[in-house]
Amino acid sequence: MAGWPVLNTFRLTLVIAAKDVRAELRSRTALLSALVFAALVLVIFNFARDPTLVAATTLAPSVLWVTFALAAMVAMNRAFTVERENSALDGLLLAPVPREALFLGKLLANLAFVGAVELATLPLFTLFFNVSLWPALPGILGVTLLATIGFVAVGTIFSAMAVRTRFAELMLPVLLLPFMVPPLIGAVQVTSRLLAERPLSEMWGWLRLLALYDVVFVTLCALAFTAVVDE
């Protein structure tokens, strides 16, 4: 039946993702370091701005997304480094697992980590900056998911490469920076419009950009993953 190979790949993806998430929950290093980092960034931003000059709502989208972007890089880097230390990937590669499923599984796991960090950062943000995200929350969650998928997809394949290089911690940000720009610009634009309660028509162009970016890069990175992990 035509559906079976797709179903198998899908199941494999979930299994791989679950394995990674479980491994991370056991060690918790990536999650914790990213959370601490996010909190630190928020504190610095808070002290850096003059509350009489700049309203919190004006600054909010930028602060939020810089925090998300930096924390995401910390999380992705740690996740792959931990795995390399455990040589878990090598075992998986010996099995006849389609590389696309391997990539998608890692992508889902990374999304889970980064998503968890982002979800934990939101209340911290509300606390430090006194900006209520509640009315715009569904929209903010939606755009966060869209943008995160974009840069985590590219981040997953780049961290697979970076981990095999000499300066792994430096290599990921250097490679990833240009690729974070379209998702970040889109995310900041949509978030600021959501907080200002603008109509959907003003965000539509950006949302389409984000969606297109996700489709193109998730597909491309999934297909290119074999070039990174196979000889």
Partner 1 sequence: MTGIAASSDIAGRTVRRGLRLSALGFVGLAAVYVLALRYTPIEARQGLAQKIFYLHVPAAWSALLAFSLVGLASVLYLWLKDIRLDRFAAASAEVGVAFSAIMLTTGPIWAKPIWGTWWTWDARLTLTLFLFFLFIGYLALRAAVQDPAERARFSAVVGILGMLLVPFIHLSVYLFRTLHPQPIVLKPSAPSLPPEMLRTLLVSTIVFTVLYVGFVTTRYGLALVADLREAEELPDGH
Residues that bind partner 1 (CB under 8 A): 154, 157-158, 161, 164-167, 171, 174-175, 177-179, 181-182, 185-186, 189, 202, 205-206, 209, 212-213, 216-217, 220-221, 224, 227-228, 231
C-alpha span between 85 and 189 (Å, rounded): 39
Q: DSSP string spanning 146-193?
A: HHHHHHHHHHHHHHHHHTTSTTHHHHHHHHHHHHHHHHHHHHHHHHHH
Closer residue to partner 1, CB minimum distance, 38 or 171: 171
Tell me the closest approach of the beta carbon of residue 71 to partner 1, in angstroms: 21
Task: Return the number of the residue (128 or 179) whose C-beta is nearest partner 1.
Answer: 179
Q: How far is the CB of 208 from partner 1 (least distance, A)?
A: 9
Least distance to partner 1 from the beta carbon of 21, Å?
Answer: 26
Distance separating alpha carbons of residues 214 and 147, to the nearest angstrom: 8
Alpha-carbon distance of 39 to 204, in angstroms, equals 31
CB closer to partner 1, 105 vs 186: 186
Q: Looking at beta carbons only, is 92 or 228 nearer to partner 1? A: 228
Within the chain, strands assigned E span none
Q: Which two tokens stand for residue 104?
A: 């998608």
